Amino acid sequence: MKQFFMTTDRLGFGVWTENDLDLAATLWRDEDVTRYARDGGPFTDEEIRDLLRRETENQNVYGVQYWPLYIKETGELAGCCGMKPSERRNTMELRFYLFRKYWGQGLGSEAARRVISYAFDMLKVKTLIARHHPDNSSAAKCLSGLGFARTEDQLDPSSGLVSPTYKLIKGYQG
């Protein structure tokens, strides 16, 4: 049975390690996942190694990453959800990506709610930001439902796209 450091009703959060290259490749080579991660299609082997290195580094240095998400009942990888440090003080950036077979089931919102709670309650983060691919209207709806307010369109350095940007401030009831 897989070990999870954090769970929701349906999901378990794992931690990427340098030994997870094959697992990470299944996620980042998937055309539906990468369609909204960036323009340019699935990641190359070299890009996947770099992504995994960054994720493990973020975990070691900051205690966060885009953690792998598993369906608790089956142990199957469903996607990833988590945070990365932002250039702004007391701010993290939230992201989540799911395989197509899990779209429309509320798993993205479920995972994001747990990460938001972890950020505010455990890490004492004051502000979360989130971005999504400009064509991903489902992500816009999800972020609004989670309480994020759209603030601006901004260049997303990880995708190279000008993306809608959102903010959620701890304790703010907008």
The pLDDT tens digits of the residues spanning 106-124 come to 999 999 999 999 999 999 9
The token duo for 30 is 């998937």
Statement: residue 10 has pLDDT above 50: yes
Out of 3.40.50.300, 3.40.50.720, 3.40.50.1220, 3.40.630.30, select the CATH number for domain 6-127. 3.40.630.30
Q: How far is Cα 40 from Cα 121, in angstroms, rounded to an integer?
A: 37
Region at 77 (left for phi over 0; alpha for psi -120 to 50; beta for the rest)? beta
Question: How does pLDDT run across 55-99, given as a tens digit for each residue?
Answer: 999 999 999 999 999 999 999 999 999 999 988 788 999 999 999
- Convert the pLDDT of each residue in 23-56 to its tens digit: 999 999 999 999 888 777 899 999 999 999 999 9
For 26-119, list the strands marked E by DSSP: 66-71, 77-85, 91-98
The confidence score (pLDDT) of residue 156 equals: 75
As a whole number of angstroms, the distance between CA 11 and CA 6 comes to 9
**Rounded distance, CA 122 to CA 116, Å?**
10
Query: What pLDDT score does 174 carry?
Result: 47
Does residue 172 carry a pLDDT above 90?
no
Ordered by start, the domain boundaries in the chain are 6-127
pTM reported for the whole predicted model: 0.92
% of residues, the chain, pLDDT over 70: 97
